[in-house]
């Protein structure tokens, strides 16, 4: 896509992993000058998605080190380009996974740019000008305004940050399957982590019955009492899984590690749908019998479009839906990543980027 090549003259402090040990250390790098289509955002908070962990550890074999992770970015606009009309200095803004798309393919033209073949992500990707993208574990970001959303005034910034990836990733398939309009369906959420916990909140807010399907017995009480889950199925307990066979209309699988889809498919009613959004490094076990004997459907889904992301943010603002977060300082990123790897988080770590700033620059 033809653009004037911007100069990368702005020095920014951030945090990067330099090899597959995944250890994060302070890292200074350059960002482009704010172009005519850009907004510059002073980052206040950035969520730690499991995708960040996959990247810093090179789980998927695609990491370009040094990698500055982070695609659940919220902050305040500090500069806007001359073509930008929807954002002003001082606005609360969010950036998710997308940095650039081709703007011209059938998906870009149809506001489904998250399926553009040339989509480039906010980190570990290549921007229009050929530069490597660096994410939100940093003090500020320069983003094309077409990939920036507004953060409603009533949402706390820290608890809103994970909506930019975890939120939209679960919102989009729910919307796709008309679950915003219909009520009273029986929905299963597999994996109660960052994505899973916000999915439970959405499904309840949309008026459905929600079952959490989890490997962690310790999460049952809180899932029901705090997140509002109606049922909790321990996936390691065969008896419980058997007793819930053919009980669900729709299941969303958010699990980050290899597992079998067979027992999950058995939970679906005949013609039920399973949407996989988790991205383990190894292929999932996918037996055909539960698929064919239940006429079931398995699909995938990746994040959501920018239009959908704004719709979700506005809906969260309207209903006061936010994420359950544990805020960490910038010097606590490594410990947070270690705990995330051990499934020890309820339910999303969020980095307070300003914890690194002198008080005068907060």
Contacts with ligand NAP, residue ranges (CB under 6 A): 49-51, 54, 165-166, 169, 191-196, 214-216, 219, 254-257, 259, 277-280, 301-303, 340, 343
Q: To the nearest whole angstrom, how small is the minimum distance from the Cβ of residue 71 to Zn ion?
A: 5
Helix-then-strand count for the chain, H and E: 11, 17
What's the 3-state SS for 294-361? CCCEEEECCCCCHHHHHHHHHHHHHHCCCCCEEEEEHHHHHHHHHHHHCCCCCCEEEEEHHHHCCHHH
Cα atoms in the Cβ-side hemisphere of radius 13 Å centred on 89 = 6
Using the rule CB under 5 A, is 323 a contact of Zn ion?
Answer: no
In the complex with Zn ion, the residue whose CB is nearer, 193 or 290, is: 193
Whether residue 108 has a cis bond before it, omega within 30° of 0: no
In the complex with ligand NAP, the residue whose CB is nearer, 140 or 232, is: 232
Q: To the nearest whole angstrom, how small is the minimum distance from the Cβ of residue 278 to ligand NAP?
A: 4
Q: To the nearest whole angstrom, how small is the minimum distance from the Cβ of residue 134 to ligand NAP?
A: 18
Q: To the nearest whole angstrom, how small is the minimum distance from the Cβ of residue 327 to ligand NAP?
A: 16
Using the rule CB under 5 A, is 49 a contact of Zn ion?
Answer: yes
In the complex with ligand NAP, the residue whose CB is nearer, 121 or 140, is: 121
* Contact partners, residue 197, CB within 8 Å, separation at least 6: 227, 323, 324, 346, 347, 348
Question: Distance between CA 69 and CA 14 in Å, rounded?
Answer: 9
> What is the SS3 assignment for 30?
strand
Q: How many residues does the chain have?
A: 362
In the complex with ligand NAP, the residue whose CB is nearer, 249 or 253, is: 253
Using the rule CB under 5 A, is 51 a contact of Zn ion?
Answer: yes
Find how far residue 275's CA is from the centre of its chain: 15
Using the rule CB under 5 A, is 256 a contact of Zn ion?
Answer: no
Q: Which does 214 bind (CB under 5 to 8 A by kind): Zn ion, ligand NAP, none?
A: ligand NAP
Q: Which does 195 bind (CB under 5 to 8 A by kind): Zn ion, ligand NAP, none?
A: ligand NAP
Dihedral, CA of residue 171, residue 177, residue 181 and residue 187, to nearest 10 = -80
In the complex with Zn ion, the residue whose CB is nearer, 46 or 267, is: 46
In the complex with ligand NAP, the residue whose CB is nearer, 216 or 247, is: 216
Q: To the nearest whole angstrom, how small is the minimum distance from the Cβ of residue 212 to ligand NAP?
A: 7
CB under 5 A: which stretch of 132-140, 159-167, 249-257, 271-279 binds Zn ion? 159-167
* CA distances for 358 relative to 353, 354, 362, angstroms: 11, 8, 7
Interacting residues toward Zn ion by CB under 5 A: 49, 51, 165
């Amino acid at each position: 896509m033809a653009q004037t090549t911007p100069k990368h003259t702005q020095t920014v402090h951030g945090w990067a992993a330099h090899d597959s040990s995944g250890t994060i250390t302070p890292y200074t790098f350059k960002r482009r000058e704010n172009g005519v289509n850009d907004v510059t955002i002073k980052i206040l908070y950035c969520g730690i998605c499991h995708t960040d962990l996959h990247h810093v550890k090179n789980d998927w074999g695609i990491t370009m080190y040094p990698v500055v992770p982070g695609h659940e970015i919220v902050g305040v606009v500090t500069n806007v380009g001359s073509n930008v009309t929807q954002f002003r200095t001082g606005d609360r803004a969010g950036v998710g996974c997308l940095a650039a798309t081709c703007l011209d393919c059938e998906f870009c033209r149809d506001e489904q740019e998250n399926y553009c073949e040339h989509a480039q992500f906010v980190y570990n990707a290549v921007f229009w000008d050929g530069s490597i993208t660096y994410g939100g574990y940093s003090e500020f970001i320069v983003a094309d305004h077409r990939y920036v959303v507004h953060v409603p005034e009533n949402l706390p910034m820290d608890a809103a940050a994970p909506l930019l990836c975890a939120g939209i990733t679960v919102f989009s398939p729910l919307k796709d399957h008309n679950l915003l309009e219909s009520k009273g369906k029986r929905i299963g959420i597999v994996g109660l982590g960052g994505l899973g916990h916000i999915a439970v909140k959405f499904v309840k807010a949309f008026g459905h019955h929600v079952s959490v399907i989890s490997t962690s017995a310790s999460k049952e009480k809180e899932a029901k009492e705090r997140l509002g889950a109606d049922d909790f199925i321990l996936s390691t307990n065969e008896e419980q899984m058997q007793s819930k066979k053919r009980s669900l209309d729709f299941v969303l699988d958010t699990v980050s590690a290899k597992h079998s889809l067979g027992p999950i498919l058995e939970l679906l009613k005949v013609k039920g749908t399973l949407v996989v959004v988790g991205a383990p490094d190894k292929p999932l076990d996918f037996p055909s019998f539960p698929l064919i004997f239940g006429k079931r459907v398995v699909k995938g889904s990746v994040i959501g479009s920018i239009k959908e992301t704004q719709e979700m943010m506005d809906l969260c603002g309207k209903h006061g839906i936010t994420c359950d977060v544990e805020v960490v300082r910038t010097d606590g990123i490594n410990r947070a990543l270690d705990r995330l790897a051990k499934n020890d988080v309820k339910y999303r770590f969020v980095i307070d980027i300003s914890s690194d700033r002198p008080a005068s620059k907060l």
